[in-house]
Each structure stands twice: as structure tokens, then as C-alpha cells.
Amino acid sequence: MKNAIKIIASLFLLFVFTASVVNAQKWQAPVSSKKKQNPYEASTRNISSGKKIYNINCKSCHGDAAMGNMLPLQPVAPSDLGSQAFLIQTDGEIYYKVNKGNGAMPTFEKTLSDEDKWMVITYLRSFDQNKKESKKIAEVKNPEVTDVKLLLDINNENKRILANLTGVTAKGDRVALQGIELSVKVKRNFGYLDISGDDAYTNEKGEVSVQFPEDLPGDREGHVNLLAKVTDDAYYGEVIVDRIASLGIPTNPVNPLDERAMWGTRANAPIWIIFSYVGGVICIWGVIFLILFQLIQLPKLAKNKE
């Protein structure tokens, strides 16, 4: 009897498992989609921009590419998009799936531009073991450096932030590092607002110039907490610098409780309503007490025969 239950249970589990596997494998992109080619080259810039888009749109479910830390969703867990099992598909197939979505996978047909989608595919392809030759073609060669420094020069006049990335070569010279992507961010309450723009790669002087948004509020004095870093830690480890700068619009937070309002607390009640209430109560109850006072004088009047 026990065995029978076990067999049934294992059969059931097997069924569920195969069903889910079948289900997972069922999602096949049509043959016609296979041929589509990625029009963008696998440059560092494209991979980096793909990673950004991936982190915003894909990471919350799929986890980090090739890390296997996806959300454990039921009945089908999201695939690891950096795994070989996934990357066996052609670019066209991946493009199709990103566009269409299936079940818990959203459709990105209209929420992401074609370029963005291809950037993500470029990024994912960089994990492909079978296409190693296309991985990270660095456009500029920087010398081996130590003591990498990121300096910020802030121009309050025209609200420009000039970031300068340098390192010390083996010879002991401090040289500019070129073609490295930087991120410049402004601290907000629950996260960092990226203001670096699309093309924040250091030039031959190791510089990136970022325009601070004209109308972005700071604190009461206009101070903002700026943070600049080398986007990819893979190059020089974590290179990060933060700075308080008065680039923001000074804000004067309005305390909604300063005004008297109908919705306010009793302390903030409109004056006229306080007066009406208190006045009304005093008048009516004043008369009532006057009458009560006269009432207790009624017995005295019994002696007055007039």
C-alpha cells in the first residue's frame, strides 16, 4: 500500500516535472525568425549599453546573466540568459522572444526600441562560449596603470561636471585613461539618478563632460550629492568619488500643514469654523443657562403676589 502511494507520488512528480519541462521547451520561436541578424557590432560600448538596459528591464526576473540567480517563479522559472542552454538560440530567436513575451515574460515590442533590444542581445552574446572571438573588442588600448584616480571639476556657472580619469603607469607617469565609460549620478531618496547621458566615455584627456540638468532640485541651499564612478568595475576595481555640489535648484519644501484647511487637524481648523462652533455653542448654551438660572428663582416669586 505504502509502495503504491510512493509510486503514485513519484509518477505524479515525474508528470509535473516533465509537464513543466515540456512547457518550458514549448516556447519555440518560429523558423522565420531565426534568420534575423543583429545589425550592431559587439563593441565594448554596445555591450555596456546593453548591460544597462538588461539591468533595468530583465534583471529583476532573470537575475544576473550567467549567475543563475533568477526569481524562482512557478510554474516556469525564468531562464538564465547568460547560460549556454539559452544562448544556443540565434539572435533572431532571442529577438523574437523579447518582442513577443510569453506568460510571465512581458512583451517588449513597444516598450523597448529595436536598438535597445539588439544592445541587450549583444550584451548576452558576450557570455557565449562559442563566440569568443567577438568578445570585447576594446577600441582603445590603455597602458597598465595603478592608483587610478577620478577627479571631478564642477563649474557652477554653466552647471557642467568635468570628470577626469587618470592612472599611474609602471614608469611612474600619471596618464589619462581613454575610452572608459563613467557614470555620473545624483543621489535621491531611494536611489541614484543617472545624469551621464548616452556617451560618457573618457576622451584622450581622460575626460568626460556631463551637463547637470538645469531644473533638477537640490536641497534648501541647492546642494546635491553627486557620485561619479567607472561604470564597469572590471577595469580598475571600484573607482568611485562622491561630492556635494551646489548645482541643484534650491527647494523650499512647502509644509502643507502650515495653512489652515478643512482637512487639517483641529489646530489647523479654519478660523471661521472655530468661531461658528464656539460662538454657536456659547450663544445657545448661554441662553439655556440663563433660563436654568431664572428657573431656580421661580420659588422666590411665590411670595411676590403682584
Partner 1 sequence: MKEETSNNSRRKFLKSVGLTVGAAGVVSGFSLLGAAKAAAQEPGETVNLLTQDGQLVQVDKNQLRPTVTGPLTELQKRGREGIAGKSFVMVIDLSKCRNARKCMDACQNHHQLRPDQHHINVLQMQDAEHTAPYFMPKPCQHCDNPPCTKVCPVDATFKRQDGIVLIDNERCIGCRFCIAACPYSARIFQWTEPKDAEKYKNLTYNIEANVPQKKGTVSKCLFSADRLRENKLPSCVSSCPNGVYYFGDQNEDAVTNGTTHETVRFSKLIEENAGYTLMPELGTKPRVYYLPPKNRAFEFNGDLLNEENLH
Partner 2 sequence: MNDLQEQKETTLSFEKIKKDILRPMQNHKGLELWIAFLITVISVCAWAYYVQLRDGLGVTGMRDYVSWGLYIANFVFFVAVSLVGMLISSILGLLRIDWITPISRIAEIIAVAFVAVAGLVIIMDMGRPDRVVNVLIHGRFQSPILWDITVVTTYLTISLLLLILPMIPDLAICKNELKKASPILKKLYNILSFGYINTPSQYKHLHKMIRTLMVLIVPVGLAIHTVTSWLFAATLRNGWDTTIFGPYFVAGAFVAGSAGLIVAMYFFRVSYKLKDYITDVQFDKMGKLMVAVCLVYLYFNLNEFLVPGYKMKTGDDIHLTELFAGHWAIMFWSSQLLGNVIPIMLLVTKKFRKPFPIMIISLFILAGAWIKRYVIVIPTLLHPHLPIQNVPQNFVHYYPSAIEISVTVLSFALALLIITVLSKIFPVVPICEIAEQKGIEVKIEA
- Pairwise CA distance, residues 71 & 80, whole Å: 10
**What is the Cα Rg of the chain in Å?**
35
295 binds, among partner 1, partner 2, none (CB under 5 to 8 A by kind): partner 2
In the complex with partner 1, the residue whose CB is nearer, 129 or 255, is 255
- 143 makes contact with partner 1 (CB under 8 A): no
In the complex with partner 1, the residue whose CB is nearer, 151 or 269, is 269
Amino acid at 245: A
- 190 makes contact with partner 2 (CB under 8 A): no
The CA–CA distances, whole Å, from 74 to 22, 29, 104, 253 equal: 14, 22, 9, 45
- 213 makes contact with partner 1 (CB under 8 A): yes
Sign of the four-CA dihedral 254, 255, 258, 260: positive
- Pairwise CA distance, residues 161 & 148, whole Å: 19
**Distance of closest approach, residue 60 Cβ to partner 2, in angstroms:** 24
- Pairwise CA distance, residues 279 & 285, whole Å: 10
In the complex with partner 1, the residue whose CB is nearer, 7 or 104, is 104
Stretch that binds partner 2, among 34-42, 68-76, 146-154, 289-297 (CB under 8 A): 289-297
- 285 makes contact with partner 2 (CB under 8 A): yes
- Please say whether the beta carbons of 228 and 184 come within 8 A: yes
> CB within 8 A of 102, min separation 6: which ones?
27
User: Which residues within the stretch 204-263 sit at the binding site for partner 2 (CB under 8 A)?
Assistant: 262-263
- 296 makes contact with partner 2 (CB under 8 A): yes
**Distance of closest approach, residue 120 Cβ to partner 1, in angstroms:** 13
**Distance of closest approach, residue 298 Cβ to partner 2, in angstroms:** 4
302 binds, among partner 2, partner 1, none (CB under 5 to 8 A by kind): partner 2
Sole binder of partner 1 in the list 43, 83, 106, 179 (CB under 8 A):
106
Residues forming beta bridges with residue 149, ordered by sequence position:
166
- 31 makes contact with partner 2 (CB under 8 A): no
> CB within 8 A of 246, min separation 6: which ones?
156, 218, 221, 222, 223, 224
DSSP-based three-state secondary structure for 181: strand
Helix axes 114-125, 91-100, angle to 10 degrees: 130
* Window 193-212: contact mask with partner 1 (x via CB under 8 A): xx------------------
- Interface residues with partner 1 (CB under 8 A) are 55-57, 59-61, 71, 73, 101, 104, 106-111, 186, 188-194, 213, 215-217, 219-220, 251, 253-257, 261-266
- Interface residues with partner 2 (CB under 8 A) are 262-266, 269-270, 273-274, 277, 281, 284-285, 287-288, 291-292, 294-302, 304-306
